[in-house]
Chain A
Amino acid sequence: MFLRKRSKESQEIGKGAPHPDTTTRALDPVEIPPGDVLETLLLSTGGPVELSAIEAQSDTINRLRDDGIELIVPLIGQGELLGALYLGQRLSDQPYSTDDRRLLGNLAAQVAPAMKVAQLVREQQAEAKERERIQQELQVAALIQQTLLPKELPSINGWNVDAFYRPARAVGGDFYDFIDLGDARLGVVIGDVTDKGVPAALVMATCRSMLRAAAFNHDSPAAVLADVNDALVPEIPPAMFVTCLYAIIDTEAGHVLFANAGHNLPYVRTSDGVVELRATGMPLGLMPGMDYDDKVYELSDGDLMVLTSDGITEAHNPDGEMYGFSRLMGRVAATTKNDDVVNSLVGDLESWTGPDAEQEDDITLVIVRKTASAQGSAAVFHPAEGERLLADFSVPSVEGNERLAIEKVSAAIAPLGLDEARLERLKTAVGETVMNAIEHGNENDDSLDVGIRVIADTGRLVVRVTDHGGDKEIPEAATPDIEAKLAGEQTPRGWGLFLISEMVDEVNRARENGSYVVELVMNREGEA
């Protein structure tokens, strides 16, 4: 007996054609190759066929004759030859009777559907296994990528850095990185490995490590890319390469020094429109000994630099048109001050591709904005005797960023071991103060930041919150009248200043060079 798989290979499921001897002998079942004359004959007959009655010739037929087969009973399901039963000479040496043949024909007719089902089940199991294998591979690739992408965004006074990464289902090789180079310099990397899945993820991991190592050896992005290229060429599989843009930002002066290895050009939105930061060079890993050029751009306060991967520009709409550079550039130009740039760009991309479109490639966006620092770049903190600066950071004036400020202040003061109740009170006071700075001082203008400094001295913990509202009226904290509020005679709002004053030991307010500073003081001993 032989059973045919749908993939047109034959599979043996049992042995044992009867043999003229009184004992039976196992035989390797003879396969009927697709298209064999015997297949055509069996399909046209539809029932048991005596080998002696077949006039046609084929290797298969000859082999069956050599094996002593007399009768072939085809197993046919939905017009397809699923297999066949081979019968040798009857033990009684009598020819097969009409009854025998009818019985075998009926048997075959009943067996065939079961065979068909078994065949489908086996195929589905194989497919499921394959799907599972692919899924596992994708998970590995995604894991590599997630592990290596930055867990936290850099927090630098006077800068607002944001990133967005969304892998395609097949996980491409996009990556980005932020490298703290010291001396107020931030390395920013965006790259894209050709290919997808695990191979791309592995190359991405290698490339990222090489970049990190080279970044500390050179002050020139071009030299860093040249080093990485030479190191990558012998390691990278053939036909794979990496596009990459590397920039070093001087976070005090606002210079950007950058070099490009075949990556999409960054855009900078300035007050005069959008500028493309041009730099060219061969992608990494193609040929050794490549040279790259360093270019310079000066970022002013409010300027926004956008780095992207080709998953954005090469995304198609349902008519097959690409999103393209000009649309991206237009979108960057159209982002207004208070726009959340990432959401705006990603939202526009989604409306381009349509809601049901499967994402074709990884999408990566890195956004670096020079904000006008509330503390001013010159306002370097000079600690007085016994003072320690525990944190010095800023958050952009975006609703909800008070939570970010609370988290950072909590992390900075964790080593002081403030008791739970006082810690919670300080957190609430910081949240309310930062919220006021965002809403009132900076009027929700996200190109303005709120500066936060945490200072400890021997007996006190001081949090200074600075915004740009130095010329605004400062309301006094009054005790809200809850009866009037509940009776609807007063707005239910107006709790912020009151809460702040109740939460900490001392609140000081001051105007300094156009800035407004609120100082929250918590005594580290005694009662609040």
Chain B
Amino acid sequence: MANEGFETTVEVTGDGAVVELKGTVNRAAKEQMEAAYVEAATTPGQIVLDFSEVDYINSTGIAVIVGVLAMARAENRQVEAFGLTDHYREVFEITRLADFMNIRDAAAAD
């Protein structure tokens, strides 16, 4: 399904890659999210998902994130979440996504 409300940008950093997410994370984001992961995973190191520009995540979006985490676990790669609002941070904790990815404070950002 096409998702005009979701965009990703992959940036390679010194110790991995940052995937900047923008817009709505729901089931329509699946294909693009997975493609962004695959692109980011061409470099060794951890992958940071930057949620700073994400305005909405629903349960189908959580499933998409779980799918990407599963891909990362299959190759023992660390995933970090950055830029989550307090609410989505809570959602990540309730769903235990936070147990499988490091959640970085926006304040601790470089």
Chain A residues packing against B (C-beta within 8 Å): 402-403, 420-421, 424-425, 428, 431-432, 435, 480, 482, 485-488, 491-496, 498-499, 502
B 14-38 binary contact with A (CB < 8 Å = 1; else 0): 0000000000000000000000000
Partner of B59, one of A487, A488, A491, A496: A496
In the complex, the answer to whether B87 meets A495 with C-beta atoms within 8 Å is no
In the complex, the answer to whether B59 meets A492 with C-beta atoms within 8 Å is no
In the complex, the answer to whether A492 meets B56 with C-beta atoms within 8 Å is no
In the complex, the answer to whether A487 meets B63 with C-beta atoms within 8 Å is no
In the complex, the answer to whether B63 meets A486 with C-beta atoms within 8 Å is no
| B74 nearest in chain A by CB position | A488
Partner of A421, one of B62, B64, B86, B99: B86
Partner of B96, one of A402, A431, A482: A482
| B55 nearest in chain A by CB position | A403
In the complex, the answer to whether B58 meets A492 with C-beta atoms within 8 Å is no
Report the Cα distance A480→B96, complex, angstroms. 10
Question: Besides the contacts A428-B58, A499-B62, what 8 more A-B pairs have beta carbons closer than 8 Å?
Answer: A425-B87, A428-B87, A431-B56, A435-B59, A492-B63, A493-B60, A493-B63, A499-B94
Q: Which residues of A contact B62 (CB under 8 A)?
A: 495, 499
Q: Which residues of A contact B67 (CB under 8 A)?
A: 492
Q: Which residues of A contact B60 (CB under 8 A)?
A: 435, 493
Asked whether B53 is an interface residue with its Cβ less than 8 Å from the other chain, the reply is no
In the complex, the answer to whether A486 meets B94 with C-beta atoms within 8 Å is no
A-facing residues in B37-73 (Cβ within 8 Å): 56, 58-60, 62-64, 66-67, 69-70, 73
In the complex, the answer to whether B58 meets A482 with C-beta atoms within 8 Å is no
Chain B nearest Cβ from A503, distance in angstroms: 8
Query: What would be 30 A-B contacts, judged by CB atoms less than 8 Å apart?
Result: A402-B58, A403-B56, A420-B87, A424-B85, A425-B87, A425-B90, A428-B87, A428-B91, A432-B59, A480-B95, A482-B66, A482-B95, A482-B97, A485-B66, A486-B69, A486-B73, A488-B70, A491-B63, A492-B64, A492-B66, A492-B70, A493-B60, A493-B63, A495-B59, A495-B62, A495-B63, A495-B95, A498-B95, A499-B94, A502-B94
Chain A nearest Cβ from B102, distance in angstroms: 15
Report the Cα distance A83→B97, complex, angstroms. 82
| A432 nearest in chain B by CB position | B59
Q: Which residues of B contact A492 (CB under 8 A)?
A: 63-64, 66-67, 70
Q: Which residues of A contact B66 (CB under 8 A)?
A: 482, 485-486, 492
Report the Cα distance A480→B62, complex, angstroms. 12
Report the Cα distance A421→B86, complex, angstroms. 8
Report the Cα distance A409→B103, complex, angstroms. 30
Q: Which residues of B contact A403 (CB under 8 A)?
A: 56
In the complex, the answer to whether A421 meets B87 with C-beta atoms within 8 Å is yes
Chain A nearest Cβ from B13, distance in angstroms: 25
| A480 nearest in chain B by CB position | B95
In the complex, the answer to whether A432 meets B58 with C-beta atoms within 8 Å is yes
In the complex, the answer to whether A424 meets B87 with C-beta atoms within 8 Å is yes
Chain B nearest Cβ from A499, distance in angstroms: 5
Report the Cα distance A343→B86, complex, angstroms. 37
Q: Which residues of A contact B96 (CB under 8 A)?
A: 482
Report the Cα distance A51→B92, complex, angstroms. 96
Chain A nearest Cβ from B26, distance in angstroms: 8
Chain B nearest Cβ from A135, distance in angstroms: 29
Report the Cα distance A278→B69, complex, angstroms. 60
In the complex, the answer to whether A486 meets B59 with C-beta atoms within 8 Å is no
Q: Which residues of A contact B100 (CB under 8 A)?
A: 482, 486
Question: Given A482-B96, A486-B100: A421 and B90 within 8 A (CB)?
Answer: yes
Partner of B99, one of A424, A431, A482, A502: A482
Q: Which of A428, A435, A486, A499 has the most CB of B within 10 A?
A: A486
Report the Cα distance A182→B103, complex, angstroms. 52
Q: Which of A402, A425, A482, A487 has the most CB of B within 10 A?
A: A482
| B58 nearest in chain A by CB position | A431
